[in-house]
Amino acid sequence: MSLIDAIRQPGFWRRVRAMLTKEFIQLRRDRVSFAMIVMIPVMQLILFGFAINTTPRNLPTAVLLQETSDVGRTILSAIERTGYFKITHRLTSAEEFDRVLASGRVLFAIEIPAGFERALRRGDMPALLVAADATDPVASGTALGSLNRIVQLALINERMLPERTQPLFEIRQHARYNPAGVSSLNIVPGLVGTILTMTMLIFTALSVTREVERGTMESLLSMPISPLEIMVGKIIPYIIVGFTQAALIIGFGVLLFGVPILGSLFLLALLSTLFIATNLSIGYSFSTVAQNQLQAIQMTFMFFLPNILLSGFMFPFAGMPGWAQWIGEALPLTHYLRIVRSIMLKGSGFTELQYEVLALFVLMMVAMTIAVTRFRRTLD
Amino acid sequence: MALASDIAIDVKGLTKSFDGRVVVRDLSMQVKRGSIYGFLGPNGSGKTTTIRMLCGLLTPDSGEGTCLGYNIRTEADQIKNHVGYMTQKFSLYQDLSVRENLEFVARIYGLDAPPKAAREMIERLGLRGREEQLAAQLSGGWKQRLALGACTLPSPQLLLLDEPTAGVDPKARREFWNEIHALANDGLTVLVSTHYMDEAERCHEIAYIAYGELLTRGTVDQVIEQSKLITYNVSGDDLQKLLHALDGKPGVDMVAPFGTSLHVSGRDEKKLEAAIKPYRADKKFVWTRSEPSLEDVFIELMNRSKDNFQ
């Protein structure tokens, strides 16, 4: 029987409605789950958001001045005035430069080479070396980003250097120890995806096994309701739950952390709903495979971990080896992260996101097919 | 042979095993429409498995048949529309109220006005005032009534009740049976499994199943008659000693104490008479020939089938 036929069965929506009304009542009675719906996003967001996202200030910085000149001093004071850097060490040799950075006592080390001012005045575009300890990429990223322009302006204003179309000098950035960087604005959009993945998977992963364990599945199976109707009836209430969670996280993200939403809010809502439905379907398919609730939870976590690690939430996707990227492509969070980051931070529209939407849709259909075929209609 | 339309359940040679262990073996039965059919047997004898096969919850390994004229293998969907199945364990939603549970069932079966149907059922079950109580908070007897109400709500033609009165007090049990008789009077066919003998006597027909095999069936009188069991009722002092003396003697198939008397039964009259002769002379005991009780018959059948299997 095809999907269309199944939906055209007389009374399909009536039975789905019966099922989802029941699920809603049960959810309302289950105080712990209900609290989880609100508490998880708010707590995670506040913890993640405030702990990781606060703009870093006064980061310890070491300086190696190879020449004593006004330009050098101007640069240093401009750097300190940004507020991001605090010069804690004055170095005298290149060996010291490496050592102090490796020790972790400073996050940045800046070298102004000998002959910098002369080269600058000749327009030779000399290089200013800024080495960053990028093991904490969130911290170093923002600071580095601000550096170039501030130093340029300082030199133009204070040292009366002519403004030119080409930059006066070049900042060579060495991001050491971790070449990848995650910018702080990525945290909130990423959190929307991770929190939704976790809560949605758990809610539906338990839904069928719970009925089996409580013995209610036996009478449900003896009633004239099809597996598809049961599935749709169990998924819809949680779409609404997931939507509420997404709204909470994004709302708090905008209010507390000033994360912008450059793209269309409607598109974001629409594609978030698709992502929520995809995760619910996957959780539900676990539920039809697992023998009991414990197994369902275990399966959820086995699926959740690669989602966190390989989706680009923790580490940049492009930096992963090919095989890991392939796994990542099969995870819904990977695609949703691209969607949510693109819409919120880059203002992307539907056309740019077609591939991700298609991928999510395919994943959802695969999960639903597994769920409906694996659903045991008998107690055999 | 009754007409097919008069038969609610007609199955032949049903066999089901789990992990290589045969739970139901070659079971055939016919249940007339409008009758109350008692399904008796000890725990683990295959009653639940049989009932689940009848309503399409389990697929038989072999054998076939019809339930309300629908093939139990291929037409489970139609069967589900017309059969009410009350599971052994309470299987309604504990975290839904009485009303919500009934409305859920009403909606699934597509009744016209679920709230109205639920209200009427609450009235009928005498659950008024408890409709907003969660099912989990109901006592055993009330849970039973609610479960019966839920499976009769969609007006099924056949009720399958799996040990509906297990763990229910005698008063609730009696009320429950009155309800079943009332439903049968309305034309409903009821198949009810139990291991209470007094309940068997309230059925129109019974079948006895042990170790997965149907051992006997018919009306209570027929079953007793078919057993060909001769029973003596012995009363007097020191019955315990007599029990030990007779137990296992050739000709004595079963001996069991019943209150202040002892039931001594055997299938072969001559052998039984010979075995008890020495004790009949004893003035301490009063021997009276009596009808075997249903329980005598069942225990004897069970002992015999156990011998066959071991």
CB distance B59–A380 less than 8 Å?
Answer: yes
pLDDT, tens digit (0-9, with 9 covering 90-100), for B94-106: 999 999 999 999 9
Q: Is A55 on the interface with B (CB under 8 A)?
A: no
Select from A14, A26, A377 the Cβ nearest to the Cβ of B96: A26
- What pLDDT, on the 0 to 100 scale, is given for residue A177? 44
Contact residues on chain A for B150, CB-CB shorter than 8 A = 219
Give the pLDDT band of residue B149 (cuts 50, 70, 90): very high
Lowest pLDDT segment from A91-105, A175-189, B73-87: A175-189
Q: Residue B115's closest CA among B98, B138, B130? A: B98
Q: How close A22 gets to chain B, by Cα (Å)?
A: 7
pLDDT, tens digit (0-9, with 9 covering 90-100), for A335-355: 998 898 888 877 888 888 899
- What pLDDT, on the 0 to 100 scale, is given for residue A158? 60
Q: Which of B19, B55, B85, B91 is the mutation pick for testing A, counting most A CBs within 10 A?
A: B91
- What pLDDT, on the 0 to 100 scale, is given for residue B309? 55
Helices and strands in chain B: count of H runs, count of E runs: 11, 14
| Residue keyed to tokens 């639920």 | B118
With beta carbons less than 8 A apart as the criterion, state whether A36 and A199 touch.
yes
- What pLDDT, on the 0 to 100 scale, is given for residue A54? 46
Residue A229's closest chain B neighbor by CA? Answer: B108
With beta carbons less than 8 A apart as the criterion, state whether A179 and A9 touch.
no
CB distance B95–A218 less than 8 Å?
Answer: no
| CA atoms B69, B71, B74, B79: torsion sign | positive
pTM of the complete model? 0.77
Over range B11-40, report the average pLDDT: 92
Q: Which CATH number fits domain A55-176: 2.30.29.30, 3.40.1710.10, 3.40.1010.20, 3.30.2130.10?
A: 3.40.1710.10
pLDDT, tens digit (0-9, with 9 covering 90-100), for B131-148: 999 999 998 889 999 999
Q: Is A378 on the interface with B (CB under 8 A)?
A: yes
CB distance B87–A218 less than 8 Å?
Answer: yes
Q: Which of B93, B98, B100, B134 is the mutation pick for testing A, counting most A CBs within 10 A?
A: B93
Give the pLDDT band of residue A183 (cuts 50, 70, 90): very low
Q: Is A1 on the interface with B (CB under 8 A)?
A: no
Q: How close A217 gets to chain B, by Cα (Å)?
A: 8
Look over chain A and give the mean of its residue pLDDT values, rounded to a whole number.
81
Cα–Cα distances in angstroms (integers) from residue A79 to residues A97, A145, A149, A323, B246, in the given order? 18, 12, 10, 42, 109
Residue type, A373: T
Contact residues on chain B for A15, CB-CB shorter than 8 A = 107-108, 110
Over range B154-169, report the average pLDDT: 90
A359 vs B281, residue with greater confidence: A359
How many interchain CB pairs under 8 A, A with B? 74
Cα–Cα distances in angstroms (integers) from residue B89 to residues A175, B48, B49, B85, B162, in the given order? 65, 11, 14, 12, 9
Contact residues on chain B for A224, CB-CB shorter than 8 A = 77, 80-81, 108-109
Domains of chain B by range and CATH?
4-224 (3.40.50.300), 228-291 (3.30.70.260)
Contact residues on chain B for A225, CB-CB shorter than 8 A = 108
Q: Is A6 on the interface with B (CB under 8 A)?
A: no
- What pLDDT, on the 0 to 100 scale, is given for residue A357? 95
Residue B136's closest chain A neighbor by CA? Answer: A214
Residue type, A303: F
CB distance B57–A379 less than 8 Å?
Answer: yes
Select from A11, A15, A216 the Cβ nearest to the Cβ of B91: A216
A201-240 residues touching B, CB cutoff 8 A:
214-219, 221-225
CB distance B110–A15 less than 8 Å?
Answer: yes
Q: Quick check: A135 pLDDT over 60? A: no
B290 vs A81, residue with greater confidence: B290
With beta carbons less than 8 A apart as the criterion, state whether A202 and A40 touch.
no
Q: How close B58 gets to chain A, by Cα (Å)?
A: 5
With beta carbons less than 8 A apart as the criterion, state whether B140 and B88 touch.
no
Select from A18, A26, A223 the Cβ nearest to the Cβ of B80: A223
Select from B80, B90, B96 the Cβ nearest to the Cβ of A224: B80
Q: Quick check: B92 pLDDT over 90? A: yes
Q: What is the ipTM of this complex?
A: 0.84
How many whole angstroms separate alpha carbon A14 and alpha carbon A292? 29
Lowest pLDDT segment from A212-216, B83-87, B293-297: B293-297
Distance of CA B286 to the CA centre of its chain: 35
Residue type, A192: V
The b-or-e profile of A32-52 (16+ CB within 10 A means b, else e) is: ebeebbeebbeebbeebbeee
Lowest pLDDT segment from A51-60, A198-207, B31-40, B133-142: A51-60
Share of chain A above pLDDT 70, in %: 82
Please state the domain extents for chain A: 3-52+184-374, 55-176
3-state secondary structure A27-75: HHHCHHHHHHHHHHHHHHHHHHHHHHHCCCCCEEEEEEECCCCHHHHHH
- What pLDDT, on the 0 to 100 scale, is given for residue B35? 93
Q: How close B294 gets to chain A, by Cα (Å)?
A: 32
Over range A90-97, report the average pLDDT: 82
- What pLDDT, on the 0 to 100 scale, is given for residue A55? 54
- What pLDDT, on the 0 to 100 scale, is given for residue B308? 58
Q: Is A14 on the interface with B (CB under 8 A)?
A: yes
Q: Residue B124's closest CA among B55, B70, B175, B198? A: B175
| Residue A202 three-state SS | helix
Contact residues on chain A for B76, CB-CB shorter than 8 A = 377
Give the pLDDT band of residue A175 (cuts 50, 70, 90): low
| Residue keyed to tokens 């959190």 | A191
pLDDT, tens digit (0-9, with 9 covering 90-100), for A266-281: 999 999 999 999 999 9
Q: How close B300 gets to chain A, by Cα (Å)?
A: 33
